Amino acid sequence: MLRDLHGSQLALAEYMSELSEAAYHAAWIEGLEHSLWRAVIQGPFRLGRLDLNAEHVANLRRLADSSGGWICFDESNEETFVDLQLWVAQGYKPHLAAAGA
């Protein structure tokens, strides 16, 4: 939950939500964490109505690096911080990332 996040973790969650709002007019679209990580790995692409650009990607990388993790969403805990190494090793599911336009 957002209340369990602090500092750079909260900044990352809020930025990810801003991108979801811009792309889909939804605070957190299903699979958002996978789609945004795809951008971190592969670079800019179109996400819904939003062209994820180099600045978006750089901000995501910076926030992930400063927090040491990534934000995932699940129905019971909502926004949840995951250690970056764990996310890369076990959390990221490329097939759940939006395919771009």
Q: What is the pLDDT of residues 12-57, one digit of tens each?
A: 999 999 999 999 999 999 999 999 999 999 999 999 999 999 999 9
Residue 101's pLDDT band (cuts 50, 70, 90):
very low
Domain range for 8: 2-74
Structural domain contains residue 91: no
Structural domain contains residue 66: yes
Residue 94 vs residues 38, 77, 83: alpha-carbon distances, Å: 7, 22, 18
Structural domain contains residue 26: yes
Structural domain contains residue 6: yes
Task: Give the count of domains, the chain.
Answer: 1
Structural domain contains residue 80: no
